[in-house]
């Protein structure tokens, strides 16, 4: 495993969420302190809103992409367009590899069951397949040319 993949999986297995783990693996490269990264990404783990939205590993990758090439100068449409293109490229590659970017779909959550009950069923997945999503996100990021 490459250094960033190892760091991301290590952060995840230490109890940080998927978004925190992906963003945290890029702190040194991006000149971002780990505390700020962990705080920033904290609310994006678990697909937000009880696993209904974008996988946290994907959200963490979107933050990395934004920090690498996002628009920061008012009116810089080229930078914004470039960033959006890289987000789309990442999303397409993650979908190709994992099937979807939606957390609940990745975890195969049954929408007909109370989410609190369903969480008990999926808890083991947090330690088995979720680290793979974190690892995949970093692998894809490492292969995107900025």
CB 5 within 8 A of CB 137: no
Total-model pTM: 0.95
Q: How far apart are CA 110 and CA 87, in angstroms?
A: 28
Cβ distance 5 to 47 under 8 Å? no
- The residue segments making up the domain with residue 34 are 3-142
Task: State the pLDDT at residue 111.
Answer: 83
Asked if residue 129 lies in contact with residue 106, where contact means CB atoms within 8 angstroms, the answer is: yes
pLDDT in tens, 40-98: 999 999 888 778 899 999 999 999 999 999 999 999 999 999 999 999 999 999 999 99
The structural domain count of the chain equals 1
Residue 116 has pLDDT above 90, yes or no: no
**What is the crossing angle of helices 130-142 and 56-69, to 10°?**
20
**Inter-residue contact 100 to 136 (CB < 8 Å):** no
């Amino acid at each position: 495993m490459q250094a960033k993949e190892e760091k991301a999986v290590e952060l995840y297995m230490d109890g940080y969420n998927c978004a925190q783990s992906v963003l945290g693996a890029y702190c040194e490269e991006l000149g971002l302190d780990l505390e700020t990264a962990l705080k920033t990404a904290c609310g994006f783990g678990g697909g937000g809103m009880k696993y209904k939205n974008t996988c946290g590993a994907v959200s963490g990758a979107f933050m990395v992409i934004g920090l690498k090439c996002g628009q920061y100068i008012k009116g810089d449409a080229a930078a914004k367009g470039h960033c959006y293109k890289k987000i789309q490229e990442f999303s397409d590659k993650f979908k190709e590899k994992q099937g979807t970017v939606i957390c609940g779909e990745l975890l195969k959550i049954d929408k007909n069951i109370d989410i609190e009950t369903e969480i008990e069923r999926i808890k083991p997945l947090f330690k088995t397949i979720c680290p793979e999503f974190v690892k995949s996100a970093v692998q894809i990021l490492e292969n995107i040319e900025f």
